[in-house]
Structure 1
Amino acid sequence: MNATIAFMTSPDLINDPIPKLLTRLAVPVGTGFFFNTMFNVVDTFYGGLISTRALAALSLSFPLFFIILAIGAGTSMGATALIGHALGSDQREEAELFAAQAVSFGVIHALFMTVGGLAAAPALFRLMGASGDYLDLALAYMDVIIAGTVFFVANYLLNAMLNASGDTKSFRNFLVAGCFLNMALDPWFMYGGVGVPALGIRGIALATVVVQAVGNVYLLGRVRRTGLLSGRSWQLLMPRREPFRRLFGQGIPASMNMLTVSLGIFVITWFAGRFGKEVVAAYGIGTRIEQIVLLPAFGLNVAVLSLVAQNFGAGKLRRVRETLTRALRAGLLLMTGGTTLVFAAAEPLMKLFTADPLVVAHGVTFLRVEALLLGAYVILYMNNSALQGLQRPAFALWIGLFRQIIAPVPIFWLLALVLGWGPPGIWWGFFLVTWSAAIVSVLYTRRVLRLATEEADAAIMQNGGNGSPP
């Protein structure tokens, strides 16, 4: 009864109009991502107040931090797909089982990441060139973050349950409040006071972990209102082989796909570094601008996953196709504006971040090529989310490997070095790779949807023609 009452306040993902649902789900996500970006800006600002070396230590820590985020986000996507499918199939007990098992799955993985991360961090930082005080600062920050891994992963999984239920506002609320809480905690923990010693860079890390822990409490309360984690669910926490296998099968490909992004950044940075630090700086600034412009697409990304998962579970493939089509139209329309803005305002946008004329010049070239790629990102994100909702997660991993590592290395080498195009060869090489990946994603998703429709039609025929068209 309580679960039913709780769900009355959530949107009906398998019956409400798709355009209304896309807006209702996507807007809170985009807003939340914006404040999450601001969260990182705040940490960067306070790191710079400590010293330039501390700021560099924060940057050095990003690849390791990203691994934690990638594992958490990938597992979250897998859990959303499985829980959403169960809810759409009206298999309430199965949804509760996956929710409880996702908690156990996440905690176990977080413990492994904590132990492994603490052991491996010193060697990894040395591999990236850190030594002396620089290494000490990086470890001082990252050891605290790694120790708090379980809080990060828990928030991702609690959000997966909310997304599967059609609630994207709760996580937005956490990200907005967390940003402001972080603004208060960073200086307090850094400089000390009111019973807290001055912690320096450790204080920035501790503030982040405390915000995540507070988020655990808030999001757990929101999940309990859905009924997915009830008193009965706590009895389901003991790890079970089949749910773990399915969570692994859905979540790990998504996590690995996100990890290919960090490898792709390394590849681009390596080639850019051959042309000087100004090119690397231009790339770093340009990607920050690009991420802000893409915020609406991130919101649609989550909306598509939630809608496709539930409607696929309910056997409503027509609504699955409508979700993907409308999300693509909305995303491409929004990115048309983004393309125009970035292409026309590339120079003033770069000058917001740097006064170095060489960095600005390289950044303008990068942004104008990237402006022509915004539509390709929308196509990739929407199709990958649809495939995740259709429980076909492996494609995103393979296409990620193709566009981040396999194709860029020879193409960048050919265009930038052999043909002598220089830095523009890197940008145009990424243009070719990304658009080719986007086209392949469209063709593959259409094939998956066609086969799913044929299977549903065959099932109806076997039942003597009873049932509605998918």
Structure 2
Amino acid sequence: MDQASKKQHDLLTEPIPKLLIRLAFPVGVGFFFNTMFNVVDTFYAGLISTQAQAAISLSFPLFFLMIAVGSGISTASTSLVGHALGAGNREEAELYAAQTFAFALLHGILLSIVGLATAPKIVAMLGAKGEYLEFALSYIGAIYSGAAFFILNQAQNGILSSSGDTKSFRNFLITAFLLNLIYDPWFIYGGLGLPPLGISGIAWATVCIQAVGSLYLFRKVHATGLISWRTRRLALPSFIAFRHLAALGFPASLTMLTVAIGVFVITWFVGRYGSEAVAAYGIATRIEQVLLLPVMGLNVATLALISQNSGALRFDRVKETVKCALSRGLMLVSLGSAAVFAGAGALMALFSKDPMVTGTGAVYLRFAAFVFPAYVVLYINSFALQGIRRPQISLALGVYRQFIAPLPIFWLLSNHLGWGLKGVWSGIVLINWSAALISLVVIRKVFKGLGKV
């Protein structure tokens, strides 16, 4: 048995707690360096001008769309390839791995065409004018030119995760961060035969790094044996395989897009209390993201384990995975929640010296400390549902949590009851906990349908 096959077999036999740690830790580290990658971009954009920095922020919705599509394809490939491997159907696993490549490339090309065609109108609609508009279009135009690399890398990560390899993508993200420290100033200011590219240099540096990553990740996927020159004929687009990838990938992408909608809704309500409140919310959510990195690792580990074990009809291990991931996740965030509640003011002061911003953000973080456990329950259950190929349920929960519930609840608490900004913060707690409890009821019912209580 080769090393790649042994890793795949381990997901069906090794103790779940051990596997969760082995799979989750590299993902958490990778997400951290991915966050730092974005921090580097923001830093160098600020050296160009405040407008350049704002242009990157303004371009985020378009960038997020690409991230959502890539994440959905990654989730679909992990679920389908992992399920086939767990069922012992190697030929089907190779088919879905090859079709994932074709599916990802097709969507990458379509995103480039549609993104480049629609970006000017969308960015202008968001309020950009003059030099501000030029900066935003220069940045997002370069990003969308390389959309295929972004999507392909996410797809390859999905294939690797399905076979138990979460380290390769971590290695890519660490290397990407280090390369970005060199590439950003080089592409911005020019040198060694490269002309100065300004803000578009930040984007082109990212695209080049993603292109290099595509080659590295392909080597790793090839090493699993799921993709080879022998199986290249399997990459010819198949309607049935594309339909299965779409059935799992599109709901996952839409679930992620509901997050963007939720942020927009919250920001709209918060914006009525002034720019300081918006700044405070923005800073506080970045602090939240860093503290939730370990949970993101557990999400990917849960998806990989459940995909293979449900394919092998090992529903006892599926249930154990969810229980173990929930217990580990809740234990981790309990420490984070206590730290955030006690040090909210100090954490905000790291990012702003404005007393109104730090004060408002500290109040939000103290509310958020009570939401962290709900995030664990929601995320773990959502990825578990995707692993057993029930993505529509995750999408429904996302629509409820990000769109349906916030509008009436925020209005009721902040306006009707007169709680103001604290009404929005209270609403976030209430909405996420209600969604978490609904997810627990739903997943218990789904497990009963699989033959397990």
Indicate whether the TM-score tops 0.5. yes
Distance (Å, rounded) in 2 between the aligned partners of 1:52 and 1:206: 20
Structure 2 partner of 1:76: 74
Q: Which runs of 5+ in 1 are unaligned?
A: 455-469
Structure 1 partner of 2:428: 430
Larger deviation: 415-424 or 245-254? Answer: 415-424
Q: Is the 8 A contact 2:7 2:163 kept in 1?
A: no
Structure 1 partner of 2:215: 217
Q: Which amino acid aligns with 1:17?
A: P
Structure 2 partner of 1:458: none
CA displacement at 1:11 relative to structure 2: 6.4
Q: Which amino acid aligns with 1:263?
A: I
| Per-residue Cα deviation, 1:372-398 (whole angstroms, up to 9, x for no partner) | 000000000100111111000011111
Q: Is the 8 A contact 1:11 1:21 kept in 2?
A: no
Structure 2 partner of 1:340: 338
Larger deviation: 172-181 or 405-414? Answer: 405-414
CA displacement at 1:270 relative to structure 2: 0.7
CA displacement at 1:75 relative to structure 2: 1.1
After superposition, residues 372-383 of structure 1 pair within 5 angstroms as 372-383=370-381
CA displacement at 1:414 relative to structure 2: 1.5
Structure 1 partner of 2:314: 316
After superposition, residues 188-203 of structure 1 pair within 5 angstroms as 188-203=186-201
Structure 2 partner of 1:396: 394
Structure 2 partner of 1:24: 22
CA displacement at 1:10 relative to structure 2: 5.8
Distance (Å, rounded) in 1 between the aligned partners of 2:112 and 2:79: 26
| Per-residue Cα deviation, 1:322-381 (whole angstroms, up to 9, x for no partner) | 110000000000000010000000000000000000001110111000110000000001
After superposition, residues 268-307 of structure 1 pair within 5 angstroms as 268-307=266-305
Report SS of the residue matched to 1:232: helix
Structure 1 partner of 2:226: 228
Structure 1 partner of 2:248: 250
User: TM-score, normalising length from structure 2?
Assistant: 0.99
Structure 1 partner of 2:202: 204
Q: Is the 8 A contact 2:81 2:93 kept in 1?
A: yes
CA displacement at 1:7 relative to structure 2: 2.3
Structure 2 partner of 1:167: 165
Structure 1 partner of 2:367: 369
Confirm whether residue 53 of structure 1 aligns to residue 15 of structure 2. Answer: no
Distance (Å, rounded) in 1 between the aligned partners of 2:123 and 2:415: 29
Structure 2 partner of 1:462: none
Confirm whether residue 331 of structure 1 aligns to residue 329 of structure 2. Answer: yes
Q: Is the 8 A contact 2:23 2:297 kept in 1?
A: yes
Identity of aligned residues (%): 54
Structure 1 partner of 2:411: 413
2:182 to 181, 184, 187: 184
Report SS of the residue matched to 2:127: coil
Q: What is the root-mean-square deviation in Å for CA atoms of aligned residues?
A: 1.1
Q: Is the 8 A contact 2:8 2:85 kept in 1?
A: no
CA displacement at 1:127 relative to structure 2: 1.1
Q: Which amino acid aligns with 1:8?
A: K
Q: Which amino acid aligns with 2:113?
A: V
Distance (Å, rounded) in 2 between the aligned partners of 1:148 and 1:244: 22
Report SS of the residue matched to 1:194: coil
CA displacement at 1:6 relative to structure 2: 3.2
Matched residue count: 453
Q: Is the 8 A contact 2:160 2:166 kept in 1?
A: yes
Structure 2 partner of 1:148: 146
Distance (Å, rounded) in 2 between the aligned partners of 1:124 and 1:46: 25
| Per-residue Cα deviation, 1:163-218 (whole angstroms, up to 9, x for no partner) | 00000000000000100001100000000011000000010000100110011010
1:118 to 91, 116, 119: 116
| Per-residue Cα deviation, 1:284-319 (whole angstroms, up to 9, x for no partner) | 000000000000000000000000000000010000
| Per-residue Cα deviation, 1:417-460 (whole angstroms, up to 9, x for no partner) | 22221111111111111000000001101111111116xxxxxx
Q: Which amino acid aligns with 1:31?
A: V
Distance (Å, rounded) in 2 between the aligned partners of 1:10 and 1:37: 29
Distance (Å, rounded) in 1 between the aligned partners of 2:414 and 2:231: 56
Q: Which runs of 5+ in 2 are unaligned?
A: none
Q: Is the 8 A contact 1:13 1:166 kept in 2?
A: yes
User: TM-score, normalising length from structure 1?
Assistant: 0.95
Distance (Å, rounded) in 2 between the aligned partners of 1:398 and 1:129: 31
Distance (Å, rounded) in 2 between the aligned partners of 1:238 and 1:11: 28
Q: Is the 8 A contact 2:187 2:197 kept in 1?
A: yes
The 4+ residue runs of structure 1 with deviation greater than 4 A are: none
Q: Is the 8 A contact 2:71 2:253 kept in 1?
A: yes
Q: Is the 8 A contact 1:155 1:212 kept in 2?
A: yes
Structure 2 partner of 1:457: none
Distance (Å, rounded) in 1 between the aligned partners of 2:334 and 2:426: 19
Q: Which amino acid aligns with 1:75?
A: I
